[in-house]
Amino acid sequence: MRISELRGKEVINLTDGARLGIIGECDLVFDPQSGKIMSILLPNKGGMLMIFGEGKPLNIPWHTLKRIGDEVLIVELDGAAERQARLMYGK
């Protein structure tokens, strides 16, 4: 699969059905040694805080990916994993 094929897909959390973001609005973190994708960084949908640079991105580990569909990526983050994902790249 090419990175361009991920563009526009929505990321959905299987655990609670939360809509986490759209791949076209994210960054991918790669392992510099293997070139494999390590995680997806989705911008926080925090509204006005994003204007002032206050939002923390959501770090979704690639291993939590369960399925890539035509329009969505399904990930499985439980409550603790989702909180950890929000903290990893926050300031």
pLDDT at 23 over 90: no
- Say if residues 34 and 51 touch (Cβ distance below 8 Å): no
pLDDT at 51 over 70: no
What residue type is 38 in one-letter code? Answer: M
Closest to 14 (Cα-Cα) out of 78, 86, 88: 78
pLDDT at 64 over 70: yes
pLDDT interval class at 85 (50, 70, 90): low
Spell out the domain ranges in the chain. Answer: 3-88
What's the predicted TM-score (pTM) here?
A: 0.69
- Say if residues 62 and 38 touch (Cβ distance below 8 Å): yes
pLDDT at 31 over 90: yes
- Say if residues 7 and 27 touch (Cβ distance below 8 Å): no
Higher-pLDDT residue of 88 and 58 is 58
Q: Which residues contact 53 (CB under 8 A, 6 or more apart)?
A: none
CATH superfamily of 3-88: PRC-barrel domain (2.30.30.240)
